[in-house]
Amino acid sequence: LTGTSREQRAFQYVLAHAIPADPHHILQTFDQWCYHCEHLSCVGPDKGRIVERVLLERAPLRVLELGTYCGYGTVLLAQGLPPGARLYTIEGDPQHAAVAEKVIRLAGFSEDMVELIVGPSEEVIPRLQEKHGLKKADFVFMDHWKRCYLRDLRLLESHQLLAEGATILADNVLFPGAPHFLQYAKTCGKYHCKVHRASLEY
Asked if residue 8 belongs to a domain, the reply is no
Please report, for the domain that includes residue 53, its CATH number: 3.40.50.150
Q: Does any domain span residue 178?
A: yes
Kindly state whether residue 54 falls inside one of the protein's structural domains. Answer: yes
Residue 133 located in a structural domain? yes
Number of domains in the chain: 1
32 lies in some domain: no
Residue range(s) defining the domain that contains residue 78: 43-188
End-to-end Cα spacing for the chain: 24
Per-residue pLDDT of the chain (202 residues; tens, 9 = 90+): 678 999 999 999 999 999 999 999 999 999 999 999 999 999 999 999 999 999 999 999 999 999 999 999 999 999 999 999 999 999 999 999 999 999 999 999 999 999 999 999 999 999 999 999 999 999 999 999 999 999 999 999 999 999 999 999 999 999 989 999 999 999 999 999 999 999 889 9
Asked if residue 110 is part of any domain, the answer here is yes
**Can you tell me the distance from the alpha carbon of 157 to that of 200, in angstroms, rounded to the nearest whole number?**
29
Is 198 among the domain residues? no
Q: Is residue 33 in some structural domain? A: no
What confidence score (pLDDT) does residue 171 get?
Answer: 96
Write out the catalytic residue numbers. 143, 146, 171-172, 201
SS3 194: coil
Contact 81, 60 (CB under 8 A): yes
Q: In 82-199, which ranges are continuous DSSP H helix? A: 94-106, 121-124, 128-132, 149-158, 179-187
